[in-house]
Amino acid sequence: MSDLPAAFREHLKEHATISTLTERIVRRGDGGLTRKAVFSLPGNETVEAVLMVYPGRATVCVSSQAGCPMGCTFCATAKLGFRQDLSPGDIAHQVLWAQRELEKIPEDLDPQASRHRVNGPEDVPARLTNVVFMGMGEPFNNYENWRKSVDLLHDPDGFNFGARNFTVSTVGLVPGIQKLMDDPLQINLAISLHAADDSIRSDMMPVNRKYPIADLLDAVREYTAKTRRRVSFEYVLIDGKNDDLEEARKLADVLVSKGKFPMHVNLIPLNPVADTGMTRSSRQRVNEFRDYLESRGVPATVRIQRGVDIDAACGQLAGDVAKDLNAAS
Ligand code: SAH
């Protein structure tokens, strides 16, 4: 900025910073259509973001905290514990990275991409179509910063991203759901439910002791009544833990017992995380679980898996720079 007085530049050098995250590593998977970036923060912490390209659409999954305080037993991020909140700029920065990364894809399209139905540059969108707050951390545990990042990205003078193209996922913090239902912006909501039985859910997710299933679902019903928007529930399927048909029955029961509301269940076969002793349900069990829900009138789909080979899939973001550096080189 040579148009500024030299003394002022010196002052800025000492007191101000512009960029937030520093890109350390970018790993590629799924024929280059899934890309995970590891960023470092000014201290020593790292966070990750994942870009996923599909025919005609591109989603970035961004982090809201370094580490996570929620302690879910099946998630790699939880193992780090809470490290620090991200600023609105840190969160928005990940979206800018994804947009720039997306722009590089048409020129270096990998032949393997056609396995994912991306056959040529014309299948790669020019702009990101979705931003999901489903990376490291709990967005509602860093509500103000998370919400300001949405404003930055939504601003016509900023990224100009449509409100309906954001999805925030929460572990089930009821106060956050209550705040969001009064928000004039139409941000989509996803809830990590993962069990319909309080003892199983508390075992998997300590947050359930504070906000048990009935309280959580009351808040969700109020949210859908107020906003008239459909919510989605994430349900990770873990072999022998929450995946038998009895659990599917309980899930259908809790979701329809007080009357139907607009919702959808996303089934996610557990992605591998070291030292959890847990494994994913078989393909057959996943299908049976889905079919049972559908038979009860609960719309359910199995989430398409991306990024498992590069530790970029749901629940695998561990900020393991050494491992990522090794794998990337
Ligand atoms: N803290 C928020 C945002 C994270 S979203 C939340 O809990 O919703 C990441 C999603 O991946 C959550 O639904 C989380 O429960 C799920 N997840 C965590 N570990 C996983 C694993 N090993 N396999 C599949 N999904 C996992």
Beta strands (DSSP E) in 174-315 are: 188-192, 231-237, 263-269, 300-302
Q: Degrees (nearest 5) of the Cα angle 156, 158, 160?
A: 45
Q: Which of 10, 48, 122, 222 is catalytic?
A: 48
The pick from 132, 187, 188, 192 for probing ligand 1's pocket by mutation, whose C-beta has the most ligand atoms within 8 angstroms, reads 192
- The answer to whether 269 and 194 are in contact (CB under 8 A) is no
> Looking at residue 139, what is its pLDDT?
98
Q: Is 126 exposed, middle or buried (0-12, 13-18, 19+ CB in 10 A)?
A: exposed
What does each C-alpha distance from 177 to 69, 162, 170, 216 come to in angstroms?
A: 18, 20, 8, 9
Give me the mean pLDDT over the 212-227 stretch.
Answer: 97
- The answer to whether 90 and 47 are in contact (CB under 8 A) is yes
**Structure confidence at residue 167 as a pLDDT band (50, 70, 90):** very high
Residue 184 pLDDT exceeds 90 = yes
Per residue in 268-318, pLDDT (tens digit) is: 999 999 999 999 999 999 999 999 999 999 999 999 889 988 899 998 998
Strands 46-54 and 57-61: antiparallel
d(CA 324, CA 329): 9
Mean pLDDT score of the chain: 95
Ligand 1 atom having least distance to the Cα of 135: 4
* Core vs surface per residue 170-183: b (16+ CB within 10 A) or e: bbbbbebbeebbee
> Looking at residue 6, what is its pLDDT?
95
Residue 237 pLDDT exceeds 90 = yes
Ligand 1 center to residue 269 CA distance, Å? 11
> Looking at residue 20, what is its pLDDT?
79
Residue 322 pLDDT exceeds 80 = no
> Looking at residue 329, what is its pLDDT?
57
Residue 19 pLDDT exceeds 80 = no
Residue 138 pLDDT exceeds 80 = yes
Look at ligand 1, atom 8, and give the residue with the nearest C-alpha: 170
Give me the mean pLDDT over the 125-135 stretch.
Answer: 97
Per residue in 58-107, pLDDT (tens digit) is: 999 999 999 999 999 999 999 999 999 999 999 999 999 999 999 999 99
Give me the mean pLDDT over the 126-140 stretch.
Answer: 98
Q: How many CB atoms lie within 10 A of CB 228?
A: 10
> Looking at residue 1, what is its pLDDT?
82
Ligand 1 center to residue 180 CA distance, Å? 20
Nearest one of 263, 272, 256 to 196, comparing CA atoms: 256
Give me the mean pLDDT over the 36-55 stretch.
Answer: 94
Catalytic site residue 72?
no
Beta bridge partners of 40: 22, 46
Ligand 1-lining residues (CB < 6 angstroms): 70, 72, 74-75, 134, 138, 169-171, 192, 234, 236, 268, 270-271, 273, 314-315
Q: Token pair 């995380």 is at which residue?
A: 273
Nearest one of 301, 264, 317 to 62, comparing CA atoms: 317
Nearest one of 287, 299, 276 to 237, comparing CA atoms: 287
Catalytic site residue 247?
no
**Structure confidence at residue 187 as a pLDDT band (50, 70, 90):** very high
Give me the mean pLDDT over the 309-329 stretch.
Answer: 82
pTM exceeds 0.85 for this model: yes
Ligand 1 center to residue 187 CA distance, Å? 19
> Looking at residue 320, what is its pLDDT?
79
Ligand 1 center to residue 157 CA distance, Å? 32
Instruction: List the structure tokens of 285.
Output: 């069990």
